[in-house]
Amino acid sequence: MGLVEFPVRKLFSSAGVTINGGEPWDIEVNDDRFYREVLFKGSLGLGESYLREYWRAADLEELFFRLTSSNLERISKRLPTQLLNSSVSRLRNRQTPSRALSNAEHHYNLGNDLFFEFLGRYKNYSCGYFRDTDSLDEAQLAKMRRLCQLLELQEGDTLLDVGGGWGEFARFAAETSGCHVTSVNISDSQIRHAREYCRDANVDVVRSDYRDLRGRFSKIAVIAMFTHVGPKNYRRFMQTMHRLLQAGGRMVMETVGALAATERCEPWTDKYIFPGGIIPSARQIESACAGLFRLRIVEEFGADYITTLRHWHRNFMAAWPRLSQRYSETTRLMFEYYLLSVAGAFRSSDLLHYHLEFDRIDGHG
């Protein structure tokens, strides 16, 4: 056993994972370059070596449940490359308007056809709300109803939908409540679809960075978007929403959350899936809205994201024979790794998921 191989085996063993072991969650090494990648690059090297097919595991979700439940992530953060990245993130604003656009283009402009194959009927790229159902479509419909309920939407309301995706929630809210929706986005491929999809609904789809928005709205929805804002912009985001929201108005946010604040997302996810994305802690959100909004955590439903991600993965794999005509094998490996590693992180409560209510504090602007 070489000098590089031994410490890697020992690290994984501490998480209950055996290299070339017999359990479904054990790592089967196909190329010894795996050991150097992991030792020197941590979780980034683990993910990149998976894309290069240096290793495989029959049960990726269980593997990542074990890894995120252990101390390995904290050890990985002490690697020189990760310490450097964290230092850079503390100094730089990685979510300026120009960087935010580049970040969105990296993932959301991959191709609508790819996402539509696995998201389900309602094209919600966020957590389903599984109550008395195992159906992804029913859970996404229930989640949209839940958001409308929390917003207390009614006819005559003007709703700002920040980060509106493919327009599904905007259309649903307009048709079920009679409100007018302004859906804002910076992803061109999503905007093109949303404008066509909402063409006959009481919805305006606007291309705009949130910082450039003008007007006044009685309600605001922020769904699966706050992870793209970044800690250096949290306060400005809340100040902007406060300015846009009418007196007595309400904002509802759905977001992934972390128990503790971090400077950057997990390195592989940051590079390959959501560049510049950062998971906020509840304390960071509370601090950002101090004096502007009264915050109430309505519910934490991270367990529902496990089910959502499993559905997405099954849909993606079932669709791969069609998608493989247009996308590379690396794309398949990337989405498989992404969806199942995140499911494992939710299982270990390394990631959380919230519905949050914000009541505007009036007299502040």
Whether residue 110 is found in the same domain as residue 85: no
Residue 63 lies in a domain: yes
Task: For residues 145 and 207, state if they share a domain.
Answer: yes
Residues 157, 298 within the same domain: yes
Residue 32's identity, in one-letter code, is D
Q: Distance (Å, rounded) from C-alpha 61 to C-alpha 49?
A: 17
Look at residues 91, 126, 149 and tell me which one is the last residue of a structural domain.
91
Residue 178 falls within a domain, yes or no?
Answer: yes
The pLDDT value recorded for residue 262 is 78
Q: Do 78 and 193 belong to one domain?
A: no
Task: Say if residue 161 is in the same domain as residue 37.
Answer: no
Q: Of 63, 91, 119, which residue sits at a domain end?
A: 91
In a domain, 310, yes or no: yes
Q: Are residues 59 and 106 part of one domain?
A: no
Burial of 143 (0-12, 13-18, 19+ CB in 10 A): buried
- Domain boundary residue among 44, 75, 91? 91
Full domain range(s) for residue 296: 97-360
Q: What is the pLDDT of residue 260?
A: 86
Please give the pLDDT value at position 84: 46
Distance CA 189, CA 186 (A): 9
How is the chain split among helix, strand and coil, in percent rounded to 5?
50, 15, 35
Q: Could you give the CA distance from residue 298 to residue 245 in angstroms, rounded to a whole number?
A: 20
> Is residue 365 domain-resident?
no
In a domain, 118, yes or no: yes
**In total, how many domains does the chain have?**
2
Q: Are both 150 and 230 inside the same structural domain? A: yes
Do residue 229 and residue 113 come from a single domain?
yes
For every one of its 365 residues, what pLDDT tens digit does the chain have, with 9 covering 90 and above?
567 899 899 999 999 999 999 999 999 999 999 999 999 999 999 999 999 999 999 999 999 999 999 877 666 555 555 544 544 445 456 566 655 545 455 555 678 899 999 999 999 999 999 999 999 999 999 999 999 999 999 999 999 999 999 999 999 999 999 999 999 999 999 999 999 999 999 999 999 999 999 999 999 999 999 999 999 999 999 999 999 999 999 999 999 999 888 767 788 999 999 888 899 999 999 999 999 999 999 999 999 999 999 999 999 999 999 999 999 999 999 999 999 999 999 999 999 999 999 999 986 54
Distance between CA atoms of residues 44 and 26, nearest Å: 19
Global confidence as pTM: 0.90
Both 74 and 122 in one domain: the answer is no
Which residues touch 143 (CB under 8 Å, ≥6 apart)? Answer: 124, 126, 127, 128, 129, 254
In this structure, is residue 84 part of a structural domain?
A: yes
Q: How much is the pLDDT for 82?
A: 52
**What is the H or E stretch that residue 248 is in?**
strand 245-257
Same domain assignment for residues 49 and 152 = no
Six-digit token string for 212 = 């450039």
- Torsion angle in degrees (nearest 10) through CA of 255, 259, 265, 268: -110
Alpha carbon distance 87, 338 (integer Å): 25
> Does one domain contain both 212 and 124?
yes
Is residue 76 domain-shared with residue 102, that is, in the same domain?
no
Helix (H) or strand (E) holding 55: strand 55-56
CATH code for the domain of 308: 3.40.50.150
Q: Rounded to a whole number, what is the distance in angstroms from the first to the last CA of the chain?
A: 66
217 bridge partner residues? 245
**Encoded tokens for 312:** 């997405």
Cβ–Cβ < 8 Å for 312, 147: no
Is residue 215, in this structure, part of any structural domain at all? yes
User: Which are the contacts of 199, defined by CB distance < 8 A and separation ≥ 6?
Assistant: none
| pLDDT of amino acid 97 | 63
Distance separating alpha carbons of residues 228 and 26, to the nearest angstrom: 33
Nearest-angstrom CA–CA distance, 224 and 177: 21
Residue 54 lies in a domain: yes
| pLDDT confidence of residue 73 | 65
Amino acid at 84: L
Do 267 and 339 contact (CB within 8 A), yes or no?
Answer: no
